[in-house]
Chain A
Amino acid sequence: MPIKKHDLRQCLLQKFRFEEVPGSKHEAVSLFVDDKKVATTRFSRAGKDISDQLLRLIAREIWVQLGYLKEMYDCTKSRDDYLQHLQNSEHIQ
Chain B
Amino acid sequence: MSLLTTIPSQAIPYPLVGTMSHTAQGYVIPRKSTYTSLEKATLFSEVFSTSRPESTQFMLFGRIAPDWILRYPLSLTIVPYDLGGYLVSDERVCVYGMGETKSEALDEYKSMLVDLFEELRSSEKVLSPRLLEQLKHLRSIIKRG
| Residue A63, interface by CB 8 Å | yes
| Residue A64, interface by CB 8 Å | no
Whole-angstrom CA separation of A37 from B116 in the bound complex? 13
Q: 0/1 per residue, A24-54, Cβ < 8 Å to B?
A: 1110101011011111101011101101111
Cβ B115 vs Cβ A38 within 8 A: no
A residues sitting closer than 8 Å to B (CB atoms) are 2, 21, 23-26, 28, 30, 32-33, 35-40, 42, 44-46, 48-49, 51-54, 57, 60-61, 63, 90-93
Which residues of A lie under 8 Å from residue B100 when comparing CB positions? 46
Which residues of A lie under 8 Å from residue B83 when comparing CB positions? 2, 48-49, 51
| Residue B82, interface by CB 8 Å | yes
Cβ B119 vs Cβ A48 within 8 A: no
Whole-angstrom CA separation of A2 from B119 in the bound complex? 28
Cβ A40 vs Cβ B131 within 8 A: yes
Contact of B128 among A21, A38, A45, A60 (CB under 8 A): A38
Cβ A26 vs Cβ B111 within 8 A: yes
| Residue B18, interface by CB 8 Å | no
In this complex, how many residues of chain B approach chain A with their Cβ under 8 Å: the count is 32
| Residue B96, interface by CB 8 Å | yes
Asked, given contacts A44-B96, A46-B98, whether A24 binds B128 with beta carbons under 8 Å apart, the answer is no
Cβ A48 vs Cβ B123 within 8 A: no
Cβ A21 vs Cβ B97 within 8 A: no
Cβ B108 vs Cβ A48 within 8 A: no
| Residue B27, interface by CB 8 Å | no
Contact of A36 among B94, B96, B126 (CB under 8 A): B126
Which residues of B lie under 8 Å from residue A38 when comparing CB positions? 128, 130-131
Whole-angstrom CA separation of A32 from B118 in the bound complex? 17
Cβ A51 vs Cβ B81 within 8 A: yes
Which residues of B lie under 8 Å from residue A30 when comparing CB positions? 119, 123
Contact of B99 among A2, A23, A46 (CB under 8 A): A46
Contact of B112 among A26, A39, A49 (CB under 8 A): A26
Q: 0/1 per residue, B52-86, Cβ < 8 Å to A?
A: 00000000000000000000000000010111110
